[in-house]
Structure formats: C-alpha cells, structure tokens
Structure 1
Amino acid sequence: MPKSLRLILLSLRDLLVSAGPVLALAVGLLMAAYWWLDPQPPTRVVLATGPADSAYANFGRRYAKALEADGIEVVEKRTDGSLDNLTLLRRGDVDVAFVRGGSADPAADEEAGLVSLGALFYEPLWIFVRKDAVPAAAASGQGAGALVQLKNLRVNVDKSGSGVPQLVDQLLRANHLDPATMKLSHLEPAPAAEALLGGMLDAVVLASAPQSRQVQQLLRAPDVLLMDVQQAEAYVRRFGYLQSVTLPRGVVDLAADLPPHDVTLLAATTSLLSREQTHPALRELFAKSAQSIHSAGGWFNRARDFPNTRTSELPVSPEGDRAINGTPPFWQRYLPFWASNLFERMWLVLGGLLVLMLPLSRVVPPLYQFRVRSRVFRWYARLRDIEQRGGAGDTPEPLLRELDELEARVNKVTVPLSYANELYELRAHIRAARLRLTAHAEVAP
C-alpha cells in the first residue's frame, strides 16, 4: 500500500475513533426518538363504510384508491350505516368511519377519544311516497309536505344500524306521533326501494348522499313523489345537527325537468371520524384525500364548501384542521409520503439533536489531537528511564543498545504530516541522549 494512502487511512481511523463516542450518543438519541415518536404509520387501516351500493361504500372505494398511491391499504368494512359505524369506532374495531350528524354523543365521544377529520357532505333525509298513497297531494302537483301525512302509511325507515330509525323517531315524536302505533318496517335500502315500486310499501325514508343508487332510482320513478318538507326551518331550530337544503328544479334531469319544482329537504352533515389512537399521519392522509374527493360542487353545495371544519359535532383533530384549512408544507409537494411524514415528525428532534451535538463536537478535536500525539509521547517515558539510569552510573553499552532499539521502533511510527514535527523532535532527543551516553562511555575509562 502506498505510504500516502496509508497516512490518509490512518488519519481517518483516528478521526472516527475520536468522534466515535459523540456519534454513538447521537445515533442512540435518534433511535430513542424514533421509537418514541413512531413516525412511520402502519400500512393497513380499517374504514367503516356502509351497505353495498350506498354512498358510504362508494366513497370508501375512492378513499381506498387514493391512499393506495401512498402505500396504505384501506380495508373497507361493510356495515348497516352510520350508527353501526359509530359503535365499531367506539369499540376500536375500526380506525376511521363515516358518521352522520346526530348519531354521536359529543360529550361522551370526545371523552372516549373520538375526533373529527372534517365534515364531508350533506346527507339529506329523502322521504319518497307513492302517488296513490297521497292522492290529494299528488293532484296538487306539490307532493306531500308534512310528516304527519305518514301517519297511516306503510313506511320503511331502514335498518337500526343505519341510524335512520332513531332520526325518524325524533322527528315523528316532534309531530306528536308515536312510532309504536305506526306501520314501520326496517328493510335495507335496496329491497325497500323495490317494495315501494312494487306497491308493497307506501313510503320509504332514506338518509344518503345523492350518489346512492336507490336515491337515483326513486327520483326518476314516475309513480313516486319526493316529500317537500315545508316545515324544514322549524326542524332546524329544534335539532341543531340538521340543515335545510334545497334540491333545485331540474337538477336531477334538465331535459325531463326533474324535479319539476324546488324541493326543500332536511339534511345532516356526514363527517369522517377517527380514534385518537389512529396514527396522526393516517389521519392527515385521510383529511388530505377528503380535499380531492369532496371538494367538488354538488346538488346541495357549491365547490369548496366541503370538506370543512365548521359543521362537525366533535372537535376536529389538528391533522384534519391543518389539511383542510392550512397550507401544506413545501416539502410535501416534492417528497413521497413516507419521506415527508418522517421529516415532519422528526425535524424537531433533528434540530434539538443538532443543538446538543454542537457543544459536544468541540470535544472531538482535542481527542483526535491526543490520540495522534500519544503515539509519540509514550516513548518519552522509556527515553527518560534510559537517561536516568545512565546518570545513576549504569554501564553505557546496554543503555546504548536500548536506545538503538527505541530508535528503531520510533522510525516505524506514522503520524499525519501536521504532527510530523513532534516525531522529529523525539528522534532528535534520542540522538541527544545517545551523545550524552557516548560521552559518558568515553570518560569512564
């Protein structure tokens, strides 16, 4: 190996050994911070959606596709609806869920660690009635307009897990109607729609976004009317989680002029809820995906009305608020999800580590200097011992042989060029000691 290369490698070795303790401390602190902060989220998350072909199920597929691009597998859990989703979320069986306004208990669920990732869309209460069940209303061209008209009809209010029966129960009791005395059934939306079209039911109550297949089907059915809730503002005043929304004339089908007039509906706001135990990066990723999935205009809202943090019943998590209302950090535009998330979770630790390492790094140069100079200094102890024995009257010849051996070993010592002067000084001192011993040997006879 060339001598110059050997000197370079030797210097690097000395530097690494000198900086080793500081580097080991930095790596240890970094590993401890990584373990404590857990910056990388799990690659699998469970999302509670709803019945097949429901709006919840359709949106669930879109979230799964959006998060798949970032390497996250979204497991879609089919449920009966909003109330079922909330129950699963409370038990910890799912990580994220669609929940309709009015389903949650704000005080208890907040204490249980449930948070909102933002309100996503209006979920109207669709009340479809057969024309032959309300002939007077059908003849007027305006359709049914009050819930009391459902009193003697065969009405389907969806399964209990959907939350619709509980909502309808509150509305009926506000009209002094006892649900126990009414002809209520609890079919799922698809068979209920078929039963309504077949004449086996008089009315069907659905709570769903307009994207639902059953809603689209019944809106176009010629023998079915959509109830225009004329007392909508009164319900909104009584029930804080409800909103009054308008289905504009012709929005369903402009050519067929469906509906033929503006229809007022009651609607709740559906939010995306999560558990506090769900990884913060996943919560932020869901909220970011909501921006692209729900930001378009619809039948009941303008573009950019959703997602929002204004109409959530539960507190909005910091990740949801930042994704919806804040400006994303610049690095998110250039880094992949895993790298962006790692930097975001660890940058404070890295900054603190840098502040800690700056004063500790001052120890490295003295350690390096001591390590290099020790190769030279350690031979002075033997040189001094030889001189002391020569001054004490020992025979010079054995001492001269020891000096020769010492000089031979020193000639093999290698130090960086910046420390070569100390090596040459040691050699000069060895020669000076030899001269003194030689002088003593000549004087002794």
Structure 2
Amino acid sequence: MNSLIARWKNLSLTEKVMWSGGSLVSVVITVILVWVALSIDPAPPRSITLATGAPGGAYDAAGRRIASFLESEGVTVELVPTAGSAENINRLMARTADVAIVQGGVGAELAPMGRLESLGALFYEPLWVFTAAGNPVGDIRDLAGMRIAAGDVGSGTRVLLSALFELNGVDDAIWVEEAGSAAAAALRTGNADVAAFMTSPDRAYIRDLVADPAISVMQMERGPAYVRLLPYLSTVTLHEGVLDPATNIPEQDVHLIAAAAVTVVQADLHPAIQSLILQAMHEDFQGGTVLSAPAEFPNRHLVTFDLSNEAERYFDRGGPAFLQRYLPFWAANLVDRIWILAIPVVTLLFPLFKSAPPIYLWQIHRRIKRYYRDLRLLEQSVFREGETPDYPGLLAQLSTLQSDVRKMNVPWTFFDEVYVLQTHIVYVEQLIWNEAKAKRET
C-alpha cells in the first residue's frame, strides 16, 4: 500500500490527471453498461398471477402445485379461480393474469397474434360423454336434440363439444348449465339426457359414473378422425380394470379423445419465471397416470400456442440451465444477469486495458526525458554568456534532481535508462565542480 502511495506521489500532475481520467472513464462506462443491462434484462418479478379454474377442480389442483414450487423459490403466486379456460384466455388477453392453465384448443384463434405462448402441456383431459344405460349413444351425431349438462358458457367441455357439433352438423343441442358432480346428479335424476366432462378419471364422480351399471359411457370410435381434424386432440384409452382391478372397473377398454391442459403465459413474461414454472411442471407432472406413460408430460407438442423460446430451450436441454440445476433461483438469475453484463463490459473495456501498458511505458519514457531536459538546462546555465553561474544553487538543484531519479519506481526493463541518466547527472555534477574550481583559480 505504501509503495502504491509513493508511486502516486511521484507521478506528475499530467500523469495523475491521465490515470484519474482513465479510471473515471472506466467507471462511467461500467455504470452506463450496468444501467443498460438492467434496462434490457430487468430482474424477474417477485410475484405473478396464475388463473386456474373452478375451486377443487383439476386446474385448481395443478395451479396449487405450481404455486407451491414457485413460492419455495421466493416467488409469490396469486391464484385466481375462474369459470374455466375461456375466462383464463380472456384474463391473459386483458393482462389480469400472467399465467393460466388452459384446455388445448381454447383460444386457438388468438395464436397468430403472438401475445400468448405455451410452456407445454401438463396432462390429458379426456372428453367423457355419459348417458343412461337405456339410452346409449355411439357417436357425437347421436347427441342432436339432447339436453346436455356440460358446464357454463366458456367451460372447456362446452368449447370442445361445440367444435365437434360443428364438424358433425349438430345445431340443436340443449345446454344444461351444470358441471361436475351436479351434472352427474342431473343425469341420474333425468334433468339431463347427457352429462359431459373434460377432466381426469381420478375425479370421484367420474369413477362413480364409470362403475355405475345404470350409466353408459360413449366409446369415441371415430376418435382418430377427430384428431386429424382438430390437431390439439389425442386419442387415449382407459384400459379395462385400470380404475379398480379388484372389481374390474371399467369392464372393457374405453376409447376416448382428449385435449391437454396447457400452461399458457404472456409472451413477455420474464424468461427466468418461465424457467421456474417449467421446473415446477417437470417436477410435478412427469409421473405416469392411468392415461399417460411416465415422462410423457410435460409435453411440448400438445399445445395450441407456440412454445416460448425459453420452453424450446428447456425441452431441447432436457431440463433447466446449468446454473439453475445447482443454485437457488435468485442466485442463478443474478449470475446470469452479471454474465450478460460482463460480456459487453469486457468487450468495451478491453481496448482500455490493452492500451494501458503502452501508455504506462510512454509515461516512464516521458519522465526520463523530462529529467534529461532539466539536466540540460542546468548544464546550459554553467556556460551562459554574460552571466556568473550560481554554482551552489546549481549543485543544489542537481542534488534534488538526483534524489528524484533515485526515487523513481520503474520496471526492471528501464533500469539501464535510469542508470545511464544517473551517470549523466554525475557527469554534469563533475562539470559544474570543475567550472566552479576554474572560476576560483582565475
């Protein structure tokens, strides 16, 4: 530290200004780059809003699982219960939700706008169509004119059934606005001819309807055709006995069509938050179900909206980025942002660093030349015509010059020049002594 202070004191005013100016320029550039980096890549939000579905439903449960994961990483999630997928899309478009769980196919007309993107599908949602056993149906066309309990306007079930009705030319279905267990009850009491649902077979009322001999479930024999016509659909099979092997429920394979529950986000949602949601999806939904094999979900293909860039990278890597695998969320994000900043900072400051050594060497040469200039002036003072030299004063100045040269801190590559300078100082000193002696003798 003392050595650095000594070196600083030995610098000339010009040198101090140059070095201070260079440091100031570096600091200013760094501050500007920090500001630019923070503006271009702001920190992820501390809280988000997630639109789910009806309380107690599959979307509500999925939203809670995702929220639990995010909150364990320090991100607060406000869960918003809704009437279903149509409302969720409306909330996304109105920006009253950042994320929503949406049935595949809902909002498809908005996909070209590019405002919404997908992070992938979470699980299958098969379409269940139940009727009384004495009034079985074998195809969507058979539902014409029937009273159908399929939830409220905007529910995913009604959206899909409406699309299927349009394909099949059915335009006289009568909607009964009952959903869930209430729709099942309406079927049993005769207040509805059909009860339709888009939900997991894990729901208790679905299991009860499948097991009830008085109820018939429609086999979707033309499922492959519907998948071709509506690409967001898939065919799935509920295998014989899978719900209850002991009582063999169902008694035969049930062929269904299914959409997928998809995580949809604002296109400008911070990539770090998107990555965190993807990790939650991977952790909570990769296990198999009675309808899907292990690792079939999260799924990048069963989506209506384009995958976000972050989701594309996530699926291509097969998981989160390297830092996010080993660091807490906020630490990994901070390192990422610093790294993004470091590249332009180093790029812009590198020329300064590269030019520093030549500037330093030039400064040393300049100081040595300055000492030679002072030495030359002292020598000329001895032989100035018409003046009597002040020999003691000249020797005192020479002594000061000699002391300054000895205190110079220079790299070893300059030692030869310093020693040559000291030799020349001794030469001029001897010259002054000789001239002073000659002056006294005359």
Question: Shorter-chain TM-score: what band?
Answer: 0.7 to 0.9
Return the match for 1:229 from 220, 235, 239: 220
Partner of 2:3: 7
CA 1:439–1:402: 2 relative to 1, 3 Å: closer
Return the match for 1:365 from 354, 357, 361: 357
CA 1:149–1:222: 2 relative to 1, 3 Å: same
Residues 233-284 of structure 1: CA distance to partner in whole angstroms, max 9, x if unpaired?
4444443333332211222222222222222222112222222211122223
Q: Distance in 2 between matches of 1:238 and 1:23?
A: 62
Return the match for 2:126 from 124, 127, 131: 124
Structure 1 range deviating more: 208-217 or 344-353: 344-353
1:205 paired with 2:196, answer yes
1:251 paired with 2:249, answer no
CA 1:112–1:90: 2 relative to 1, 3 Å: farther
- Over the matched positions of the two proteins, sequence identity in percent amounts to 31
Return the match for 2:165 from 150, 156, 172: 172
- Equivalent residue runs for 1:131-150 within 5 Å: 134-137=132-135, 143-147=136-140, 150=143
Return the match for 1:387 from 372, 375, 379: 379
Q: Distance in 1 between matches of 2:228 and 2:433?
A: 115
Q: Which runs of structure 1 show a deviation greater than 6 angstroms over 4 or more consecutive aligned residues?
A: 12-16
CA 1:216–1:385: 2 relative to 1, 3 Å: farther
Q: Distance in 1 between matches of 2:354 and 2:426?
A: 37
Contact 1:123–1:268 at 8 Å: present in 2 too? yes
CA 1:429–1:190: 2 relative to 1, 3 Å: farther
Secondary structure in structure 1 of the residue aligned to 2:247: coil
1:322 paired with 2:320, answer no
Return the match for 1:401 from 383, 393, 404: 393
Q: Distance in 2 between matches of 1:271 and 1:224?
A: 30
**1:433 corresponds to which letter in structure 2?**
V
1:163 paired with 2:159, answer no
Shift of 1:38: 0.5
Shift of 1:417: 6.5
Shift of 1:59: 0.9
Shift of 1:309: 2.3
Shift of 1:158: 0.8
1:437 paired with 2:432, answer yes
Q: Distance in 2 between matches of 1:12 and 1:151?
A: 94
Shift of 1:155: 2.8
CA 1:10–1:203: 2 relative to 1, 3 Å: farther
Q: Distance in 1 between matches of 2:28 and 2:326?
A: 31
**1:388 corresponds to which letter in structure 2?**
Q
Gaps of 5+ in 1: 138-142
Secondary structure in structure 1 of the residue aligned to 2:257: strand
Partner of 1:140: none
Contact 1:250–1:261 at 8 Å: present in 2 too? yes
Shift of 1:188: 4.3
CA 1:325–1:435: 2 relative to 1, 3 Å: closer
Residues 165-218 of structure 1: CA distance to partner in whole angstroms, max 9, x if unpaired?
232233334454434x62x22234354445556665453222123344554564
Q: Distance in 2 between matches of 1:228 and 1:178?
A: 21
Partner of 2:273: 282
Structure 1 range deviating more: 378-387 or 216-225: 216-225
CA 1:12–1:245: 2 relative to 1, 3 Å: farther
Q: TM-score, normalised by structure 1?
A: 0.81
Shift of 1:409: 6.3
**Root-mean-square deviation (CA), in Å?**
3.6
Contact 2:99–2:265 at 8 Å: present in 1 too? yes
Contact 1:114–1:276 at 8 Å: present in 2 too? yes
Shift of 1:386: 2.8
CA 1:220–1:61: 2 relative to 1, 3 Å: farther
**1:401 corresponds to which letter in structure 2?**
G
CA 1:434–1:238: 2 relative to 1, 3 Å: closer
1:63 paired with 2:58, answer no
Q: Distance in 2 between matches of 1:358 and 1:210?
A: 62
Q: Distance in 2 between matches of 1:21 and 1:369?
A: 20
Q: Distance in 1 between matches of 2:397 and 2:207?
A: 102
Secondary structure in structure 2 of the residue aligned to 1:363: helix
Q: Distance in 1 between matches of 2:46 and 2:200?
A: 29
Q: TM-score, normalised by structure 2?
A: 0.81
**Higher relative contact order by CA 8 Å / sep ≥ 6: 1 or 2?**
1
**1:272 corresponds to which letter in structure 2?**
T
Q: Distance in 2 between matches of 1:408 and 1:326?
A: 70
1:74 paired with 2:66, answer no
Contact 1:117–1:287 at 8 Å: present in 2 too? yes
Secondary structure in structure 2 of the residue aligned to 1:411: helix
Q: Distance in 2 between matches of 1:100 and 1:173?
A: 18
CA 1:11–1:190: 2 relative to 1, 3 Å: farther
Contact 1:252–1:258 at 8 Å: present in 2 too? yes
Secondary structure in structure 1 of the residue aligned to 2:154: helix
Q: Distance in 2 between matches of 1:372 and 1:212?
A: 83
Partner of 1:309: 300
Secondary structure in structure 2 of the residue aligned to 1:439: helix
Instruction: Report the count of equivalent residues.
Output: 428
Secondary structure in structure 2 of the residue aligned to 1:246: strand
Shift of 1:29: 6.7
Residues 84-142 of structure 1: CA distance to partner in whole angstroms, max 9, x if unpaired?
11111222222222221221235x4232422222232211112233xxxx3524xxxxx
**1:169 corresponds to which letter in structure 2?**
S
Gaps of 5+ in 2: none
